[in-house]
Structure 1
Amino acid sequence: FKNINHKEYFPVNLSALQKLAEEKNLTKIGIAELVEAGLTNGKKLVKILGEGELKAKIDVEANAFSKTAEEAIKAVGGNATKI
């Protein structure tokens, strides 16, 4: 049995977002910034996962978020926007 509605996501952890925000001094991270940083190829959907610690207040745009990632982003004052 193969689910025809299955979507394959490229995972990106909070620790990678934190590192990217610090290195490039970003307050908003979307798919374009992730592709530019080499964290995804831009061809697959992106899902933000909750592994790692997020300290920076950033607004994140991605195709999906894990519950812990969304909570962590909002806990530091950022926004998690599904696109």
Structure 2
Amino acid sequence: MKLSNLRPAEGSVKTRKRVGRGQGSGLGGTSTRGHKGAQSRSGYSRKRGFEGGQMPLQRRVPKFGFKNINRVEYKAINLDTIQLLADTYKLKVVDFEALYTHGLVSKSDLVKILSRGAISSAIEVHAKGFSSAAKAAIEAAGGQAIVD
């Protein structure tokens, strides 16, 4: 094998279709564009969503609902998760940094503590929000619920 012998694999390279080179080529005349109509003309570009004059899908389907641009979305963390975190890593303070380092939240999340599960140790919990039941459970266990 030499550099001069190298060739692409059989069938992997196709020859380019040369259209509009006279009737004898078989691809002259209309140059594979069909007869008349907008698509046969040069400079034609179809509008996005155009379906040949048929009512387009985006106009056939009814509109509904809306996106509230002022919505604030919280990442929910439950008491059983906080208790597990405190037991596993011997934490007395659970804040955003602790949750982030252990992979429970991402940098842009706002954390809200919810009341699923039970909490038994006195833990200081920092978050953007607490449900009333979660706050009561943390304080009943001797801990503190601090809103950042």
TM-score (norm 1): 0.93
Secondary structure of the structure 2 residue equivalent to 1:80: strand
In structure 1, how many angstroms separate the alpha carbons of the residues matched to 2:116 and 2:98?
Answer: 19
* 1:37 match: 102
Match of residue 91, structure 2, among 26, 45, 49: 26
What is the RMSD of the two structures over their aligned residues, measured on CA atoms? 1.1
In structure 1, how many angstroms separate the alpha carbons of the residues matched to 2:68 and 2:136?
Answer: 29
Q: Counterparts of 1:1-83 in structure 2 under 5 Å?
A: 2-83=67-148
User: Whose relative contact order is higher, 1 or 2, with alpha carbons under 8 Å and at least 6 apart?
Assistant: 1
Q: Figure out how many residues of one structure are paired with residues of the other and give that number.
A: 83
Secondary structure of the structure 1 residue equivalent to 2:138: helix
Matching residue's letter, 1:65 = F
1:9-53 superposed Cα distances (whole Å, 9 cap, x missing partner): 000000000000001111101000001111111211000000001
Secondary structure of the structure 1 residue equivalent to 2:71: coil
Identity of aligned residues (%): 41
In structure 2, how many angstroms separate the alpha carbons of the residues matched to 1:30 and 1:51?
Answer: 18
Matching residue's letter, 1:33 = A
Structure 1: tracts of 5 or more residues without a match: none
Structure with a larger share of its residues in helix: 1
In structure 2, how many angstroms separate the alpha carbons of the residues matched to 1:61 and 1:40?
Answer: 14
Structure with a larger share of its residues in strand: 1
Structure 2: tracts of 5 or more residues without a match: 1-65
